[in-house]
């Protein structure tokens, strides 16, 4: 009997699942189910893929591969770049670890932007204050006080140092089996922390002599690294700001959940908590029940991003 397959073209490689672990312009590094990595091109019809995306791909000749389809995403983090253009950051993340540090400086407004983004997805945020080795005890206590407004409302706040490997054991447990992204300004030590958490890899870290000022971006591509006990960490380039897309005020309020119990007692239902009479949120801020700084950031975000 004639073999009907003999006349059809040979298909040497089967389609398989993979994960995007890095993006280099049009090329992607795909990790297969065995943890092997293959540099791939993409089908034109593929659309945008980002680090953490699950895809269908197949090997081709010369040790490369082709990504053919992006699979549905569990979570997706994007930000708004210049001129309001959406910039995808990463997909299928469980945790966002918001890293700040006394050098180059603590930026709570950036933290609040990340929290609004995280609260509007299923990504769990955690705040990590790195480089505490730089702080004398008094300054450290001040900083703990300053960040108590976050721990009081339920966000984990970790004080750590990549340099002296301090404060990371809880984080290691939390990250096991999950995908986490380290985000924050350039120079706060995201790559340094990742190098401590995964000693086998060598994420590029800024040379001390080059970090005298802000704006030196050492990490230039988003990269997923595997953790020894399962799960992974995504290193991402530093940002100056984390722009949000335009959104309804309710979604901004969602990132300021501690205001809610007070907002229910404002005299006006649509109170902006700015200068209305009978505003229970302003009273709460004056009495120290909520953070004045967070209220200020809320107003700024409403002015900038509310639809």
In a 10 Å sphere around its CB, with 0-12 CB exposed, 13-18 middle and 19+ buried, how is residue 185 labelled? buried
Give me the least distance between CB of 111 and ligand GTP, in Å please.
15
Give me the least distance between CB of 268 and ligand GTP, in Å please.
43
Select the binding partner of residue 163 from ligand GTP, Mg ion, Zn ion, none (C-beta < 5 to 8 A, by kind). Answer: ligand GTP
266 binds Zn ion (CB under 5 A): yes
Kindly state the helix (H) or strand (E) to which residue 195 belongs, with its residue range. Answer: helix 190-197
Give me the least distance between CB of 220 and Mg ion, in Å please.
9
Residue 283 and residue 65: Cα distance in Å, rounded? 60
User: Is the C-alpha dihedral spanning 103, 294, 175, 220 positive or negative?
Assistant: negative
Q: Which residue is nearest to ligand GTP, using beta carbons?
A: 238
79 binds Zn ion (CB under 5 A): no
Q: Which stretch binds ligand GTP (CB under 6 A): 22-30, 110-118, 140-148, 216-224?
A: 216-224
How many C-beta atoms lie closer than 10 Å to residue 266's C-beta?
20
Interaction with Zn ion in 267-296: which residues (CB under 5 A)? 271, 273, 279, 281
Give me the least distance between CB of 248 and ligand GTP, in Å please.
31
226 binds ligand GTP (CB under 6 A): no
Please say whether the beta carbons of 31 and 21 come within 8 A.
Answer: yes
201 binds ligand GTP (CB under 6 A): no
Residue 148 and residue 152: Cα distance in Å, rounded? 6
234 binds ligand GTP (CB under 6 A): no
User: Is the C-alpha dihedral spanning 210, 212, 213, 214 positive or negative?
Assistant: positive
In a 10 Å sphere around its CB, with 0-12 CB exposed, 13-18 middle and 19+ buried, how is residue 83 labelled? exposed
Q: In sequence order, what are the residues at sequence separation of 6 or more whose Cβ sits closer than 8 angstroms to the Cβ of residue 203? A: 191, 194, 195, 219, 223, 225, 235
253 binds ligand GTP (CB under 6 A): no
Q: Which stretch binds ligand GTP (CB under 6 A): 74-82, 109-117, 128-136, 298-306?
A: 128-136
163 binds ligand GTP (CB under 6 A): yes
Residue 243, token pair as written in the block: 């722009």
Q: Which residues in this chain contact Zn ion in the complex, by CB under 5 A?
A: 266, 271, 273, 279, 281
Q: Which residues in this chain contact ligand GTP in the complex, by CB under 6 A?
A: 130-131, 133-134, 161-163, 186-192, 205-206, 208, 211, 217-219, 237-238
């Amino acid at each position: 009997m004639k073999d009907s397959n003999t006349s059809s073209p040979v298909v040497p490689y089967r389609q398989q699942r993979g994960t995007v672990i890095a993006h280099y312009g049009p090329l992607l590094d795909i990790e297969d189910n065995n943890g092997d990595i293959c540099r791939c091109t993409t089908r034109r019809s593929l659309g945008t893929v980002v680090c953490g995306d699950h895809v269908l791909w197949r090997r081709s000749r010369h040790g490369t591969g082709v990504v053919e389809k992006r699979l549905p995403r569990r979570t997706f983090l994007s930000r708004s770049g210049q001129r309001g253009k959406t910039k995808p950051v990463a997909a299928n993340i469980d945790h966002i670890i918001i890293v700040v540090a006394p050098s180059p400086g603590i930026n709570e407004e950036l933290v609040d932007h990340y929290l609004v983004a995280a609260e509007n997805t299923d990504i769990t945020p955690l705040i990590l204050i790195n480089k505490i080795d730089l702080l004398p005890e008094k300054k450290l206590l001040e900083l703990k006080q300053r960040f108590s407004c976050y721990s009081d409302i339920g966000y984990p706040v970790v004080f750590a140092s990549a340099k002296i490997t301090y404060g990371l054991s809880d984080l290691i447990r939390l990250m096991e089996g999950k995908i986490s992204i380290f985000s924050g300004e350039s120079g706060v030590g995201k790559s340094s922390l990742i190098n401590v958490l995964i000693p086998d890899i060598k994420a590029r870290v800024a040379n001390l002599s080059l970090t005298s000022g802000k704006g030196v971006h050492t990490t230039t591509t988003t990269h997923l690294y595997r953790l020894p006990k399962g799960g992974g960490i995504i290193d991402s380039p530093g940002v100056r700001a984390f722009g949000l897309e335009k959104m309804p005020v309710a979604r901004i309020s969602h990132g300021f959940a501690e205001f809610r119990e007070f907002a229910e007692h404002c005299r006006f239902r649509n109170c902006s908590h700015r200068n209305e009479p009978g505003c229970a949120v302003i009273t709460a801020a004056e009495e120290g029940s909520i953070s004045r700084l967070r209220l200020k950031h809320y107003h700024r975000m409403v002015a900038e991003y509310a639809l």
